[in-house]
Amino acid sequence: MSDIGFTAVLPEGWPRPRGYAQGVVTTGGRVLRVAGQTGVAPGAQHVAPDADFGAQFTQALANVVAVVQAAGGKAEHIVSLRAYLTQIGDFNAHGSAVGAAWGASLGRHFPAMTIVGVTALLDPAARVEIEAEAVLP
Domain ranges of the chain: 6-135
pLDDT in tens, 10-23: 999 999 887 777 88
Helices (H) and strands (E) in the chain, counts: 3, 6
Residue type, 33: R
pLDDT in tens, 55-109: 999 999 999 999 999 999 999 999 999 999 999 999 999 999 999 999 999 999 9
Q: What topology is assigned to 6-135 in CATH? A: 60s Ribosomal Protein L30; Chain: A; (3.30.1330)
Between CA 48 and CA 52, with CA 88 as vertex, the angle to 5 degrees is: 25
Mapping DSSP to helix (H, G, I), strand (E, B) and coil, where does residue 83 land?
strand
* pLDDT recorded at residue 36: 97
Q: Is 45 exposed, middle or buried (0-12, 13-18, 19+ CB in 10 A)?
A: exposed
Mapping DSSP to helix (H, G, I), strand (E, B) and coil, where does residue 75 land?
helix
pTM: 0.86
* pLDDT recorded at residue 1: 38
Tell me the H-state helices in the chain.
53-70, 90-93, 95-106
* pLDDT recorded at residue 86: 98
Closest CA to 39 of 50, 24, 51: 51
